[in-house]
Every structure is written in C-alpha cells, then in structure tokens.
C-alpha cells in the first residue's frame, strides 16, 4: 500500500497538506474531506481508496483507521489513476462551501479543466435549489428534497444477489430526448436534461436499463448485444451540443461508474457480467473522449476493457461487429488520436508525465486489437484494413520496436510489432528493408573475411550480387547465375548484360527484371496460364522434371522486394496468402508442407471465374442435384492432349454429388485446383521467394501487403506524379506539357494506369508514394511519331504536338496498343 504523508499547514485552520508518494506533489486538504487521488500524476494515495467497498471505508474510519492489510503492499488498485479532471466548477464551489465552510473553515477547491463543446450556462438562478445526484456505487442521494423532474425515472432497490439485477424502468426515446433538449434550450432551464444524463451514466445498471432493448432479457449470445443503437447515437450526438457544465456532470458520472466497486460485502470479487460488457461498449462510443482534457478518463476505460478475460473479449469482439460502420470508424479514429497524442502530445503540460502512465498506449492498442479482430471477422469488412494504420508511428524508432519484439527476454514489455495491424505498410517496409540491409551487411562482411583468410585482394564487387547474363539466353543464364551465387542473394543486386558496356545505376537491374518476367510469363513458355476474365496468371498444373524455373520466379519476387523494385506481376490474392503459409520457413525441415492454406470459392473466382461461378450455381441449385448434374467426387483435366481424372476422395468415382454432400464436393474441388494440383510448382516458388526474403518481419504482413511490396500501391495521384516529374527539352510552362497534364487529369483511372504501365513498366507506384520514384518527360522531334517510353528509366518520350487534339489521339493510341511492358 502506498504511503501517505500528512502535515498540518501553519495558520490554515486545520487544513492538512498531503504529499503524493509517487510524484511528491503536495496539496492542501480541509478537515473532514478525503482526497484519494493525486491531482498531478493521478495515482491513488491509498490502495483502499479504489479496492474497498464504501461500507469498508466507513467501518475503517470508525475504528480510527487501523493498519492496512499486509498483503496490499506494493500493489495498485484496479483503476490506479484518475486525475483531478473532475474538480468542482465555480458554481459548485459556492454551493459546496455552504455545507462545509461553517464547520470546517475555508476550503480550497480547484477548477475542472475546460472542456470544448457546448456553450452557455447550465441553468438560470433557480438552479441553486435543484437536486444534485451523487453516485456512490449504484445508489443516489439528493441535496434537496425536491423530487426528480424526470417522469420516466422510477426508484430502484439494490439486489442482494449479484446474479439477479432489478433494473429501474427507463423509457426515454431518442425523439423524447430531442424534444426535451429543444424545450430546455428555449427556456434556459436544463434541469430535465441534466437529470437524465446524470442518472444515465451514474452506474452500469443505469446504462443497461436505458440502452437495452429489453432490460429483463440477458442477451448472453455473441450474435446480439441487445442495444438500442438509435438511442445510443442520439444520446451521444446530443451530448456535444449541451452546455459545458452539463458535459462535466456526465464525465463525473462516468468516473463513478468506472470506480464502481466490484467486491461484495464479503470482499469477494465477482466476475464481469454481460451487463458490464454492454456498459463498456456504450461508454467507448462517447465522443467526449476526442478531447485531450478527457484522456485520463478515457485511459481508464481502455484499461478496464483491455484487462477483461479472453472470454469477455470474445463477446466484445462479436458485439463490436454490430456497431454501425460510421460509428465504428469514428471510434477507431478516436483511438488513433489518443495513441498519437500520448506519443507526441501537442501540449505536454496537459497530460500526466509519460513515465507515470506507461500503460496508456498498451491499453489503447489492445482495445484497437479488439476492433481489428471484429473487422477481420466481418465479410465484407466494416472498414478497410488500412484504417487501422497509424501513420504517426512511422516517426518512431521502428527498429528498436522490432528488436524489442524479437528479443522479449532482454526487452520485456510492450512493442507495436506485437500488434502489426497498427503499423502502416510504409513502416513495415522500413522494418523489412532495414532488416534486409543488416543481412546484406552481414553477408558482405562474411565475404570480406573469407577473402582475407584466403589471402586474396578484396574488391568492391564482392559486396554485391553480380549477375552477368546474355540477352539471347536470358532465362537459362539467370538460372545458372542464381544457382551458382545463391549464397549471395542477400547482397545488393547488380546486373550486367554480356557484351554491353555500361554501369548499372538501377536501370539495367530494372530492365533485367522486366525482360525476364515478360519472357517467363509468355503463354508458349508453359509455366503460367492466363485467364482473361480474371486478369491474372496462375501456375500450370502440368508436371515437370525440374521445377527450378518456378524457384527462379520466387527468387525474382524476393529480389524485387529486397531491392525496392516494383514488378508488374498479376497473381491472384490467394497466391500471396499461400506465400505466408507459413510466413517463416520451417527450420531444418525441407519436407515440411508449405504454401498450403485454407481456400474458398471466392479465392477461385480470382483464378478461374467460370469454374467458380459453376460451383456457386451448384451450391444454390434447388432441384435434384444428383439427377440433374450427374457428378461424382472426381475432377478431370487435360494433360499433354489427353484427359486425366483425379479422385477428390477415396472411392470418389463411386460417390455421387447430392444436396447433402455438395458443400464437401465444392470445398475439395477448390482445394484441389488451388493447393494440391500445383503443389510442387508452388513449393519451388515458395522456397525461391523465402530464400531471399527470409525474415521474421514477414510475420507482420497481411497477404495484401505482400502484394503491395512486390507490385507497389494501386492508388495513383496524378498531381503528386506531376510534382516529381523532371523535363528534358521541355519546361513545365511549355504548351505541350500543359496540354499533356490537362489531358491526363481528365483521363479515367484505367487509362491513367495504362499510361503509367506504358511509361514505367508497372501500373502501380511505390508504397511510399510518387516522391520515391523518378519520372521524366523528354522531347523528340517528329510530330508524326507516336509517344515512346524507356521503362527502365521511367521516361516518356513526347514529340511537341501542335494541338491538344493531336496529342490526345497519339497518346491514347500509344498506350492502348503497347504490348508487354512497352519496351522500346
């Protein structure tokens, strides 16, 4: 138990000074009053202040405050921090003095920090005699005999049985609340609305009584939290329009509900009920928590939610899925702001010292994880997964976070890498690249040491992966070079074309990637099949004697990620899901199953749309499936001009597909197409990719993020591209250039992507945006020529056409009729 230092202040009339054992802040406390929390750091002076029921405090005071429980030493209460945000307003100070100053002398009070929001005074002069509700646990007392003006309010009696709750009757609707607010606003007397809000938030029981559709039902399933979301929206949207004093009353009531003692009179701690979970779900909607001055309360709400059991989190995750998407998005944004402001506070003096509240960010991140889980469980997702990115984390020492995550024994504690959904793709790429750079340095150092040990003269070439290939034998030379130098794959890549002078400054490397990918994906090469409807390539299921070429494609993808080069590879989403199954290659187990993941008909839709549509039609067919389809548990495919039949299950040729077993048939069919039929091909491809990108950082990536690392970001902003464009033979003010950008800005997105593909070899931009790429427009004479491109250098060659019309015709003709990568 924390120690409490007290000393009488000289000449203060018995006022006692209290010193916080945590931050040594000293404050004055009048006799008869009891301060439990420090106004500076927010820590409790005594554990008993948070963990003992009110009856315990009263009996303890009667005994003259005996010695505390020895088992309480060194511990903190379940809430641990509630700061002085809830100090009395000036009007309340005057009212409170009337009841305390006559017997206690002058008492010193502090003001509640300003809350942005509504304006105006709470009530008129008659407000001085209104009833003020003070929550103690779940009970209510009044300072005036005046009865409550709220007609929908009925008294409640505490239930001696914690498992049986007698709910008060609360019948207020959203329409009635709107009418009450309108009347109060016109009259200037806010009694009715204040009584409603003060009562509503004074305890978890009141919250459930007001917001449950039927308070007598328990709603103990994950399907439905049983809340009136329309009333919830109305209550909180109205709250921000109310006077500030009333908003402060709501915050005070929320504190009381959060501080509600969980112990019964025999000091046993009861587990959280579904009503408690519902109350947390309601409170996290509060838009007041967007304000920096409310972060102390918000932090404690998040801490209590984060500390719930796994069983309670399971319920919360499913209930969060029922939140309307706009409110879901708002809460996620509120959590982001909380984390960002705690990390980089705009006014540090407005928040407790970071050293005193290290649990704030972990608590908020854990609650964010619940929202992320709810989003992932929803089909379609409630918000895009990128909405969980917090770009402010890009400014942290990301490698320190990564190493703390990788070495928990020496860096115990919280790391954002434990919750990768919150890290942006740019942050993950930074971690992956820097981890790769470290591996490059290690490999280069080993080469240097080996040279010295063999008494050989070191040369600069040993620091790079140097590939020399012939254009006429591009695939075979690349295979041989990679196989011969597989120990150097983690070095920086440098490519030389045999018989061609020139230094690789990035252009030759990109040209090698583009030419090699273009040749390997040619239909006559037979490695991949292209589906025009899907617009994607998929692995050919034809058996091969050697799968090294598939391994080469995997190496190429890994080298592209490793060397920050975007490739125009059109693989379906399930390919990247398979690449992360598992994300780390099983150690010393070459026979381990890799590249096999759970697949669905939706995955097949991106590979073979016609087949997937047929399977969906089979699942939805209402007539006699067995009689009309005449299917068995087998699949036929063409192999070298002949039909081959494969059983989907033992004795499958004798098992008819019926309404009862068609779901099993569809699942086995999809697994055969996407997993089993191409397993040796994908296994080689998987090992090729991971031979370069073997890093624990891959564990943090989603399949969609791996695709972005390989191919780039699909989001194009022409204005951003214009800002980084360089000109050769032109200036930005030239008429041709102005015509060009005006026309490109007016193009549909598909044409803009084709232009980017024509000029750069990829229709995507780097993950970090256009500022990470170079784009050049060069001048060439001859207005009868079509525009040309040097994709290796992201260069568009544009003749000075005399009119906008000619420019548009020539450019569209060039980009729509270019083949492959538009290589000259």
Tokens of 784: 């009868």
**Rounded to the nearest 5°, which phi and psi values hold at 521?**
-90, 5
CB 685 within 8 A of CB 553: yes
3-class secondary-structure state, position 8: strand
Tokens of 199: 């009562």
Residue 638's beta-bridge partner residues? 643
What is the rounded distance in angstroms from the CA atom of residue 529 to the CA atom of residue 727? 40
Residue 134's beta-bridge partner residues? 141
Tokens of 84: 């002085």
Among 57, 249, 242, 51, which residue's Cα sits nearest to residue 134? 249
CB 20 within 8 A of CB 46: no
Tokens 């802040």 found at? 25
What is the rounded distance in angstroms from the CA atom of residue 40 to the CA atom of residue 353? 9
Residue 796's beta-bridge partner residues? 777, 789
User: Could you say which DSSP state residue 649 is in?
Assistant: S
What is the rounded distance in angstroms from the CA atom of residue 766 to the CA atom of residue 429? 11
Tokens 């240097």 found at? 448
Tally the residues of the chain. 824
3-class secondary-structure state, position 698: helix
Among 385, 396, 457, which residue's Cα sits nearest to residue 431? 396
In sequence order, what are the residues at sequence separation of 6 or more whose Cβ sits closer than 8 angstroms to the Cβ of residue 57?
Answer: 48
CB 607 within 8 A of CB 573: no
Among 389, 387, 388, 414, which residue's Cα sits nearest to residue 400? 414
Dihedral sign for Cα atoms in the order 510, 512, 513, 518: positive
Cis peptide leading into residue 415 (ω within 30°): no
Among 403, 340, 396, which residue's Cα sits nearest to residue 368? 340
Tokens 């005449």 found at? 630
Residue 635's beta-bridge partner residues? 646
Q: What is the DSSP code string of 179-199? A: HHHHHHHHHS--HHHHHHHHH
Dihedral sign for Cα atoms in the order 304, 306, 312, 317: positive
What is the rounded distance in angstroms from the CA atom of residue 254 to the CA atom of residue 248? 10
Active site (annotated) includes residue 38: no
Among 54, 58, 60, 41, which residue's Cα sits nearest to residue 2? 41
User: Could you say which DSSP state residue 113 is in?
Assistant: P
What is the rounded distance in angstroms from the CA atom of residue 788 to the CA atom of residue 798? 7
What is the rounded distance in angstroms from the CA atom of residue 178 to the CA atom of residue 532? 56
What is the rounded distance in angstroms from the CA atom of residue 200 to the CA atom of residue 212? 12
HSE-CB of 61 using CA atoms within 13 angstroms: 10
Angle among Cα 255, 256, 262 to the nearest 5 degrees reads 115
Residue 643's beta-bridge partner residues? 638
Instruction: Measure CA 502 to chain center.
Output: 45
Element holding 639 (H helix, E strand): strand 634-639
695: left (phi over 0), alpha (psi -120 to 50) or beta: beta
In sequence order, what are the residues at sequence separation of 6 or more whose Cβ sits closer than 8 angstroms to the Cβ of residue 812?
Answer: 751
Q: Would you please indicate which residues are annotated as catalytic (active-site) residues?
A: 792
């Amino acid at each position: 138990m924390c120690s409490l230092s007290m000393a009488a202040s000289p000449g203060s009339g018995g006022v006692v000074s209290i010193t916080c054992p945590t931050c040594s802040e000293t404050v004055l406390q009048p006799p008869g009053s009891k301060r439990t929390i420090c106004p500076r750091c927010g820590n409790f002076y005594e554990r008993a202040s948070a963990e003992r029921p009110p009856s315990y405090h009263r009996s303890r005071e009667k005994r003259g405050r005996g010695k505390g429980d020895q088992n309480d030493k060194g511990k903190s209460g379940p809430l641990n921090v509630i700061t002085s945000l809830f100090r009395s307003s000036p009007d309340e100070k005057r009212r409170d003095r009337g009841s305390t100053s006559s017997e206690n002398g002058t008492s010193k009070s502090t003001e509640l920090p300003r809350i942005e929001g509504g304006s105006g005074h709470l009530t008129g002069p008659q407000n001085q005699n209104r009833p003020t509700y003070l929550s103690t646990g779940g009970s209510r007392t009044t300072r005036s005999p005046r009865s409550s003006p709220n007609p929908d309010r009925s008294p409640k009696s505490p239930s001696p049985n914690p498992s049986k709750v007698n709910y008060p009757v609360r019948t207020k609707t959203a329409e009635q609340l709107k009418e009450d607010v309108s009347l109060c606003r016109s009259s200037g007397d806010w009694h009715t609305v204040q009584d409603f809000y003060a009562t509503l938030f004074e305890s978890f029981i009141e919250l459930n009584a007001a917001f449950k559709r039927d308070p007598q039902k328990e709603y103990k399933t994950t399907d439905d939290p049983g809340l009136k979301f329309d009333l919830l929206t109305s209550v909180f949207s109205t709250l921000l329009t109310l006077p500030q004093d009333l908003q402060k009353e709501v915050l005070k009531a929320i504190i009381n509900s959060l501080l509600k003692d969980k112990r019964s009179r025999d000091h046993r701690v009861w587990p959280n009920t579904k009503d408690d979970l519902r109350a947390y779900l309601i409170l996290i909607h509060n838009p007041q928590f967007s304000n920096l001055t409310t972060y102390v309360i918000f932090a404690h709400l998040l801490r209590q939610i984060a500390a719930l059991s796994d069983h309670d989190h399971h319920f919360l995750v499913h209930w969060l899925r029922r939140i309307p998407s706009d409110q879901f998005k708002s809460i996620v944004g509120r959590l982001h702001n909380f984390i960002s402001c705690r990390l980089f506070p705009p006014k540090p003096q407005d928040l407790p010292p970071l050293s005193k509240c290290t649990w704030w960010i972990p608590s908020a991140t854990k609650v964010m994880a619940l929202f992320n889980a709810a989003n992932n469980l929803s089909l379609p997702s409630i918000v895009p997964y990128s909405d969980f990115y917090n770009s402010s984390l890009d400014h942290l020492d990301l490698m320190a976070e990564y190493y703390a995550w990788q070495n928990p024994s020496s860096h115990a504690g919280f790391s954002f890498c434990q919750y990768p959904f919150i890290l942006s793709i740019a942050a993950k790429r930074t971690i992956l690249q820097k981890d790769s750079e470290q591996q490059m340095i290690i490999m280069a150092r080993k080469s240097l040491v080996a040279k010295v040990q063999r008494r050989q003269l070191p040369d600069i070439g040993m620091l790079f992966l140097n590939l020399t290939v012939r254009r006429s034998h591009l695939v075979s030379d690349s295979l041989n070079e990679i196989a011969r130098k597989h120990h150097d794959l983690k070095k920086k890549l440098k490519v030389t074309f045999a018989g061609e002078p020139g230094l690789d400054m990035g252009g030759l490397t990109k040209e090698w990637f583009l030419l090699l990918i273009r040749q390997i994906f040619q239909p006559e090469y037979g490695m991949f099949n292209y589906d025009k409807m899907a617009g994607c390539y998929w692995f050919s299921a034809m058996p091969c004697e050697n799968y090294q070429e598939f391994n080469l494609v995997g190496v190429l993808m890994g080298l592209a990620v490793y060397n920050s080069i975007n490739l125009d590879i059109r693989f379906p989403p399930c390919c990247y899901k398979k690449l992360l199954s598992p994300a780390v290659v099983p150690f010393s187990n070459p026979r381990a199953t890799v590249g096999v993941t759970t697949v669905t008909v939706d995955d097949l839709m991106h590979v073979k749309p016609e087949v997937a549509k047929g399977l969906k039609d089979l699942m939805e067919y209402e007539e006699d499936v067995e009689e009309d389809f005449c299917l068995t548990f087998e699949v036929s495919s063409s192999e070298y001009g002949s039909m081959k039949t494969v059983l989907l299950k033992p004795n499958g040729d004798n098992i008819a597909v019926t309404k009862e077993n068609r779901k099993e048939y569809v699942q086995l069919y999809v697994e055969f197409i996407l997993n089993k039929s191409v397993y040796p091909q994908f296994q080689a491809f998987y090992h090729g990719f991971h031979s370069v990108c073997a890093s624990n950082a891959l564990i943090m990536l989603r399949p969609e993020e791996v695709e972005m690392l390989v191919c780039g970001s699909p989001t194009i902003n022409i204005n951003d591209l214009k800002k980084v464009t360089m000109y050769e033979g032109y200036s930005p003010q030239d008429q041709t250039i102005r015509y060009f950008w005006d026309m490109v800005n007016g193009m549909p997105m598909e044409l803009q992507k084709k232009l980017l593909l024509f000029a750069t070899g990829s229709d995507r931009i780097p993950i970090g945006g256009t500022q990470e790429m170079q784009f050049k427009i060069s001048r060439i004479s001859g207005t009868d020529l079509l525009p040309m491109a040097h994709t290796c250098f992201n260069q568009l060659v544009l003749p000075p056409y005399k009119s906008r019309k000619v420019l548009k015709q020539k450019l569209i003709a060039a980009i729509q009729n270019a083949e492959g990568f538009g290589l000259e």
